[in-house]
Structure 1
Amino acid sequence: MTEDLKGYLFSVAEAFVDVSFIMDVVPLGNGNINNTYLVKLRNCGKEDFVLQKISSKVFKDPESIISNMQVSLDHIQLKLLSDVGNIEERNWRSTSLLKSRYNNKYWHRNQDEFWRATSYISAAYTTDLVRNYDDAEEVGIGLGIFHSLMDGLPLKKLIKTLDSFHVTPKYHQEYQKVSNMGVTDLCDKTQWCIDFIKEREPIIDVLENAICSGELCLRVIHGDPKVNNFLFDNITNKTVAMVDLDTLMTGLIHYDLGDCLRSACNPAGEEELDLSKVFFCIDSCKRLLNGYLSKTKKLLNEADYNYLYDAIRLIPFELGMRFFSDYLAGNIYFKVNHSSHNLERALVQFSLTKSIETQEFEILQCIEELR
């Protein structure tokens, strides 16, 4: 981090705390969208906090994101106080928003940039990959607790912040639009991606059709339940929080579960270049589903179970298509380290999809056993 950038971050953090209290500002996490930092404070009676710049390219109405976040955090706090979140003896924790000293609101605008600050959950850690099967089950439990805590929140209280989020047919339309403009870098990898998407066009509408038919209903979802958005307790190694609520909105819980399994059951991770190492770990899948369903059996109906495999298969395919579309469009959505970064990411997700398809029977059998 350059001194100019650090000085700038100090000035932004000053909107939430007196600058004399700030000891340092350091990068936090490795998200693909927003820039996130940890503001470390001197011994001043205040706690460290998280400072985050919300991407204006992705989120056109940042105030709505913060509104949704506040509504959900208030709901979680009520559930935690009433002890009805199916948490048992787990010390589940949630963040809180900090108000700006300048406008008394939960955000700070600096020219065209939109910043917010949240409390920092200490004595906890994140991991980009599940390290063992216990981790996988804990991630499942964490997601199940989150969905249980969100149950009962009126959907009308949430503002729609992203159009067509996880609506696979819309992403396919966007892909067709950019691909019809002509693929300038038509190599073996890009052709493989094009063929891969073409072969799976029949599955694109499966979840949206189930919504339209009334089989599946909308609920409150996290929207980005990848492994590093779960916090693990330093001592017990149990999940104690979910963070990054920017994409919290109404949707299918199948989106969350499929995305969570996509992230947790790929031991190679999302940035692996050797595609032979990318596979969907069925044992991690079983443990994660076991953990999730132990907290959500009362939330799910027969139709929910019937579409679990479709979601597990569809979500990595959808993300791969989004990465590939962004690559074709010139890398305008996701942050990249080089021009082919999104192509590499797409290949990982498509390889994961293919691995899921080869294990369809085992996954369906696991779901049936856990009903």
Structure 2
Amino acid sequence: MFKNILAAYGLEIGDVFMQEFGIGLINKTWKVEKSDRTASYILQRINHSIFKRPDDIAFNVSYIARFLQQHHPDYLFITPLTTVDGKELYYDEQHGYFRLAPFLENSCTINTVNTPRQAFEAARQFGQFTSLCSRLDPAKLKITIPDFHNLPFRYQQFREALEQGNKDRRSETQDLIGFLQAHAGIMTTYTDILQNRSFGIRVTHHDTKISNVLFDAVDNGLCVIDLDTLMPGYFISDVGDMMRTYLCPVNEEETDMSSIGVREDYFQSIVTGYLSAMKPLLSRDEKHHFVYAGKFMIYMQALRFLTDYLNNDVYYGARYERHNVVRAENQVVLLQKLLDKEPILNGIVTDALYTTVPGM
């Protein structure tokens, strides 16, 4: 497999070292290093079962790359290489779609947010990326995952699972079901946003976990990576995903619900980091929905986990009995913690909006 893939990019398999790289759940990744240490690359196999049209991903990335090169040539944007015959992806009939990109030396990724500074730097990078693309028409981008952050669509899937899913599982999860139904106003707010012209549709990353930012050795953010879900969207998707994955000291796999919480200093870092780039671009209504972004993403993920559990784990799978219901409960607890602190968090946003955003 690798011999043909590497040859497509002008590399010889006998002249490189290869090793698996990262812990991504969707795409498979390898680091490729020339034996003479003159160059290193990242090779990825795109998950064709998730991304039905990989060429759309390649189109979006190249379109953004051309725009940034023209308007912001000093911005660090890692663009995949083309094959020797000029193609943006290599297709293998047996193994699918692959891409090769330069590896940025002296850079690293972080799998877990460990300090407020890391949260600030990541938020700043995602905000800067969207800000720099503000003059680009997002309608030009392809939709790589339809309905990815469409909350009414996810709620409808949840309702269908209640009607058609596993009855025993539905019976045992009545408390979780009741909580999600009781908080359906989060979905109603989103439908209102869809009709609100003061909410801008922008170039949005849609997957703002910390591992999608490259850092240097002293925790300075360098650039954003992994643009498979780059699509038109609302700012609440990017901010909400940061809140969902940065605020809590544990992730959605945690089974000890007592360890779930919302760290106010990390929220402060997200606010100041993102607003350092996006404050002039967000409308008044958007700024007032900053905390809502977290509710939006956490609620949607809780819906998706419980929906999958009711549907017998057909989407996420399960490594143990009740895995997805534990994940759903985890997100419900996180959502409640966020709701409990909403007045405090809104105060932090207000303070940031009326003060100069500092560096950290």
Name the TM-score, length of structure 1 as normaliser: 0.88
- Give the match for residue 226 of structure 2: 244
- Give the match for residue 195 of structure 2: 212
- Give the match for residue 356 of structure 2: none
Equivalent pairs: percent with the same residue? 26
- Give the match for residue 114 of structure 1: 97
Please give the residue correspondences for 1:165-176 in structure 2 after superposition, counting only pairs within 5 Å: 165-176=148-159
- Give the match for residue 310 of structure 1: 292
Q: State the 1:204 CA deviation.
A: 0.8
Corresponding residue pairs, total: 352
Query: Is residue 95–residue 119 contact of structure 1 (8 Å, CA) maintained in 2?
Result: yes
Query: Is residue 35–residue 53 contact of structure 1 (8 Å, CA) maintained in 2?
Result: yes
Please give the residue correspondences for 1:190-269 in structure 2 after superposition, counting only pairs within 5 Å: 190-234=173-217, 236-269=218-251
Q: State the 1:17 CA deviation.
A: 3.6
Structure 2 CA distance for aligned equivalents of residues 15 and 178 of structure 1: 45
Query: Is residue 331–residue 339 contact of structure 1 (8 Å, CA) maintained in 2?
Result: no
Structure 2 CA distance for aligned equivalents of residues 19 and 190 of structure 1: 55
Deviation digits for residues 227-251 of structure 1 (CA, Å, limit 9, x no counterpart): 11111112x3110111110000100
Q: State the 1:358 CA deviation.
A: 0.6
Structure 2 CA distance for aligned equivalents of residues 186 and 202 of structure 1: 24
Which deviates further from its counterpart, 238-247 or 294-303?
294-303
Q: State the 1:139 CA deviation.
A: 1.7
Query: Is residue 236–residue 296 contact of structure 2 (8 Å, CA) maintained in 1?
Result: no
Which deviates further from its counterpart, 344-353 or 289-298?
344-353
Q: State the 1:354 CA deviation.
A: 1.2
Query: Is residue 162–residue 170 contact of structure 2 (8 Å, CA) maintained in 1?
Result: no
- Give the match for residue 62 of structure 2: 70
Which residues of structure 1 form unaligned runs of 5+? 1-7, 84-91
- Give the match for residue 43 of structure 1: 36
Structure 1 CA distance for aligned equivalents of residues 340 and 102 of structure 2: 43
Deviation digits for residues 246-284 of structure 1 (CA, Å, limit 9, x no counterpart): 000100011101111211111112321211111111111
Q: Structure 2 vs 1, CA of residues 27 and 337 (structure 1 numbering), >3 Å: closer, same or farther?
A: farther
Deviation digits for residues 313-362 of structure 1 (CA, Å, limit 9, x no counterpart): 11111112122223333444446544644333323222211110110100
- Give the match for residue 262 of structure 2: 280
Q: Secondary structure at the match of 2:129?
A: helix
Structure 1 CA distance for aligned equivalents of residues 122 and 171 of structure 2: 36
Q: State the 1:11 CA deviation.
A: 4.3
Q: Which amino acid aligns with 1:54?
A: I
- Give the match for residue 123 of structure 2: 140
Query: Is residue 10–residue 25 contact of structure 1 (8 Å, CA) maintained in 2?
Result: no
Q: Structure 2 vs 1, CA of residues 158 and 41 (structure 1 numbering), >3 Å: closer, same or farther?
A: same
Deviation digits for residues 272-318 of structure 1 (CA, Å, limit 9, x no counterpart): 12111111111110122112112212111211112112112111111
Query: Is residue 13–residue 51 contact of structure 1 (8 Å, CA) maintained in 2?
Result: no
